[in-house]
Amino acid sequence: MARPRNPLQPLGELESAVLEALWDEGELATPVAHERVGVPRGLSYTTILTVLQRLTAKGLVVRRGGGRSHLYSPAVTREAFAERRAASLAAALVELGASGVGAFLAEAGRLDPEVVNELRSKLRARR
């Protein structure tokens, strides 16, 4: 039996590009999404349609009828998606225990100093 996909799983490059286009435009018909994302990559219309359907199944996109093609719009904002992904990442780190947190901290040097300061503030507030 296939395991249900986690909607907070990292998106593929193409899924991310389609979702970014929807966030930028607010709503796109399938042919327009294909023109914006698929044509520059040399992808077929059906490939973009499949990506839109997958994003809909993940709950990240909403589809509604729109004449000859459907209209798609984001179901979540960029910010809400980022927050959900961050919460999922934090939960994964907790599950990994000290080694997961240690690996995260080892990479923390690559973070924006403002982000590090915000994390410190949040950790202090939890004490």
| CA quadruple 64, 71, 47, 10: dihedral, nearest 10 | -80
Query: Would you state the pLDDT for residue 9?
Result: 61
Q: DSSP labels for 17-76?
A: HHHHHHHHHS-EEHHHHIIIIIHHHT--HHHHHHHHHHHHHTTSEEEE--TTS-EEEESS
Encode the chain (127 residues) as per-residue pLDDT tens digits. 444 455 456 789 999 999 999 999 999 999 999 999 999 999 999 999 999 999 999 999 999 986 777 999 999 999 999 888 888 878 888 888 888 788 877 887 788 888 878 878 877 887 7
Query: Would you state the pLDDT for residue 44?
Result: 97
Query: Would you state the pLDDT for residue 17?
Result: 96
Query: Would you state the pLDDT for residue 68?
Result: 76
Q: How many residues does the chain have?
A: 127
What is the per-residue burial (b if ≥16 Cβ within 10 Å, else e) of 99-116? eeeeebeeeeeeeeeeee
Query: What's the Cα-to-Cα distance from 31 to each of 27, 35, 104, rounded to whole Å?
Result: 12, 6, 41
Structure tokens at 78: 């960029």
pLDDT tens digit sequence for 115-125:
878 878 877 88
